[in-house]
Amino acid sequence: MKAVFTAAALVLSTAPWASAQSILGTWTCARSTADNDAVSNVTFSENGRLDALVNIDFLGLDQVVAAQARYRSDFQLDDGLLSDTPVSAYVSKLTIDGQDARRSEHAETLRQALLEGSDASAKVTFTSENYMILSADKAPINCVRM
pTM: 0.80
* Tens of pLDDT, residues 99-128: 999 999 999 999 998 898 666 799 999 999
CATH number of the domain at 17, please: 2.40.128
pLDDT of residue 62: 82
Q: How many domains does the chain have?
A: 1
Q: Which domain holds residue 97?
A: 2-145
Does residue 16 register a pLDDT over 70? Answer: no
Decide: helix, strand or coil at residue 4.
helix
Contacts of residue 121, defined as CB under 8 A and 6 or more positions apart, other chains included, come to 1, 81, 82, 83, 136
| 93 burial via Cβ count (<10 Å: 0-12, 13-18, 19+) | middle
Average of per-residue pLDDT across 33-39: 88
Looking from the CA of 96 toward its CB, the CA atoms found within 13 Å total 12
| 3 state SS of 24 | coil
CB 115 within 8 A of CB 85: no
